[in-house]
């Protein structure tokens, strides 16, 4: 038997409904309902409208009424479509060396870089990794992020990648936010693998992919297409194998050099993430495709490099998602709202474009069509702020956090 919950009144209910998936957005396109309420049936939204009208309706039903006092604004729960929050250890030393002028290669030679995290993650138990995911996911939830993508990629062997993905799977039992797992075994070539890039990918695809399917650990495969990782040529058999087995694809693309976005378009990936190095050529390719372009401002802030050309992508007609890239190396901050606001400042994005990038457009990059918008039938995932106008959220660049968060119609804290 379903139960009913009425929440309100809100000064503003910013629904994100009726907006296109691709292209630029103006703030006056946002659907904003004033003095609004949300009627929830079970875990989904049943109706939105004036709170007073909905209150009159539910008084004749058995409904829980959560009546708010003071000023409040409600948005869809945010979606972080690219994170690496399953890891062990710290790379604070990398950060210090990077700011002191050391290059990526110099840091790696001194024992830092991705391999440092691989080493520390391999030493951690599955239970320790699960605990870390729970801690970071719950921090995200407090900040209004109700759906979180989580990658493996610090195991880099069949056994260790399975350990990571099982840890992510186990964390779901103790986290209210939805965790969407992704296999990033094609992160870098592990230093201890005897063989070349092609033979490593062949081994992973033959030995790991079937277990991912049988244990239902993930339906998503990712790869880092870069000169120091995997080339366009070598990744193609790996992606073909993944598609043959029914996996969705996503790509770490164009972070330092181009090629990754071309791979994403060729193989019909859900998203191409990073894109800091993308040129007009890559932008045109993405616009003509259904691939979601995902900006990762946390990596730009952490590395001190250019931001994804978000303004150019949107103006050309692309769909833009914004994610945190929360990881122990290049993007340790992990605060999606702060990063999105900063990206907006440097790329001159409207509030509508930023909010779309962390709601329904981010949902599309994960292949999810039931969240990111406040409208009937969608999940009742809500971020509620104790403010009088939604513009205040991005204006304060992450300092204003949600007062309440609802996941599938249930209050999280």
What digits encode the pLDDT tens for the residues 30-88?
999 999 999 999 999 999 999 999 998 887 567 899 999 999 999 999 999 999 999 99
Give the Cα separation of 83 and 210 in Å (integer): 24
Higher confidence at residue 104 or residue 51?
51
- In the predicted model, what is the mean pLDDT of residues 316-338? 97
Length of the chain: 413
Q: How confident is the model at residue 140 (pLDDT cuts 50, 70, 90)?
A: very high
If you average pLDDT over residues 273-295, what whole number do you get?
98
Of 26-35, 95-104, 148-157, the range with the lowest mean pLDDT is: 95-104
pLDDT (0 to 100) of residue 110:
85
Give the pLDDT score at 104: 77
- Residue 108 pLDDT greater than 90, yes or no: no
User: By three-state DSSP, how is residue 24 classified?
Assistant: coil
4-76+372-411: CATH superfamily? Urease, subunit C, domain 1 (2.30.40.10)
Tokens of 2: 């379903």
Q: What is the pLDDT, as a whole number, of residue 61?
A: 66
Report the chain's mean pLDDT, rounded to a whole number.
96
User: Which of the four pLDDT bands, split at 50, 70 and 90, describes residue 25?
Assistant: very high
Q: Which residues contact 283 (CB under 8 A, 6 or more apart)?
A: 309, 312, 313, 316, 318
Determine the Cα–Cα distance for residues 312 and 319; give it in Å rounded to an integer: 11
Give the tens place of pLDDT for each residue, 87-103. Answer: 999 999 999 999 999 98
What does the longest C-alpha to C-alpha distance in the chain come to?
70
* Confidence at residue 111, expressed as pLDDT on a 0 to 100 scale: 84
What pLDDT digit, counting tens, does each position of 264-279 carry?
Answer: 999 999 999 999 999 9
State yes or no: pLDDT of 105 exceeds 80: no
- Which two tokens mark 133? 């995911």
What is the token pair recorded at 76? 């869809």
CB 63 within 8 A of CB 5: yes
Query: For 229-270, what is each residue's pLDDT tens digit?
Result: 999 999 999 999 999 999 999 999 999 999 999 999 999 999
The full set of domain ranges for the chain reads 4-76+372-411, 78-365
Q: Would you place residue 2 in the very low, low, confident or very high pLDDT band (cuts 50, 70, 90)?
A: low
Q: Which CATH class is domain 78-365?
A: alpha beta
Does residue 195 register a pLDDT over 70?
yes
Residue 1 confidence (pLDDT): 52
Average pLDDT over residues 108-114: 86
In this prediction, residue 118 carries a pLDDT of 97
- For 300-311, write each residue's pLDDT tens digit: 999 999 999 999
- Other Cβ atoms closer than 10 A to 109: 11
């Amino acid at each position: 038997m379903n139960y009913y919950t009425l929440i309100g009144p809100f000064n503003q209910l910013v629904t994100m409904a009726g907006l296109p998936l691709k292209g630029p957005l103006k703030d006056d396109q946002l659907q904003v309902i004033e003095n609004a309420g949300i009627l929830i049936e079970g875990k989904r939204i049943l109706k939105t409208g004036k709170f007073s009208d909905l209150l009159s309706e539910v008084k004749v039903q058995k409904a829980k009424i959560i009546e708010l006092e003071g000023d409040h604004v409600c948005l869809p729960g945010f979606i972080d479509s690219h994170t690496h929050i399953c890891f062990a250890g710290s790379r604070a030393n990398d950060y210090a060396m990077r700011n002191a002028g050391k290059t990526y290669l110099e840091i790696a030679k001194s024992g830092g870089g991705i391999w440092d995290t691989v080493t520390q993650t391999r030493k951690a138990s599955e239970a320790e990794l699960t605990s870390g995911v729970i801690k970071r996911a719950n921090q995200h939830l407090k900040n209004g992020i109700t759906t979180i993508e989580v990658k493996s990629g610090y195991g880099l062997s069949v056994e260790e990648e399975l350990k990571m993905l099982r840890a992510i799977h186990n964390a779901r039992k103790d986290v209210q936010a939805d965790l969407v797992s992704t296999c990033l075994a094609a992160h870098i070539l592990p230093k201890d693998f005897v063989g070349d890039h092609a033979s490593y990918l062949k081994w992973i695809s033959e030995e790991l992919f079937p277990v991912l399917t049988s244990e239902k650990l993930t339906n998503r495969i990712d790869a880092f297409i870069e000169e120091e990782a995997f080339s366009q040529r070598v990744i193609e058999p790996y992606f073909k194998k993944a598609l043959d087995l029914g996996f969705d694809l996503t790509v770490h693309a164009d972070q330092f050099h181009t090629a990754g976005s071309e791979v994403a378009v060729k193989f019909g990936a859900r998203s191409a993430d990073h894109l800091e190095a993308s040129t007009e050529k890559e932008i045109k390719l993405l616009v003509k495709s259904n691939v979601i372009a995902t900006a990762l401002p946390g990596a730009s802030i952490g590395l001190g490099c250019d931001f994804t050309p978000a303004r150019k992508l949107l103006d050309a007609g692309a769909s833009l998602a914004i994610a945190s890239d929360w990881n122990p190396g290049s993007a340790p901050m992990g605060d999606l709202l702060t990063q999105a606001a900063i990206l907006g400042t440097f790329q001159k994005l409207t509030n509508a474009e930023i909010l779309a990038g962390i709601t329904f457009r981010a949902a599309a990059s994960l292949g999810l069509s039931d969240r990111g918008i406040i409208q009937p039938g969608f999940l009742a995932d809500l971020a509620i702020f104790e403010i009088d106008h939604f513009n205040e959220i991005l204006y304060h660049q992450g300092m204003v956090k949600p007062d309440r968060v609802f996941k599938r119609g249930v209050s999280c804290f």
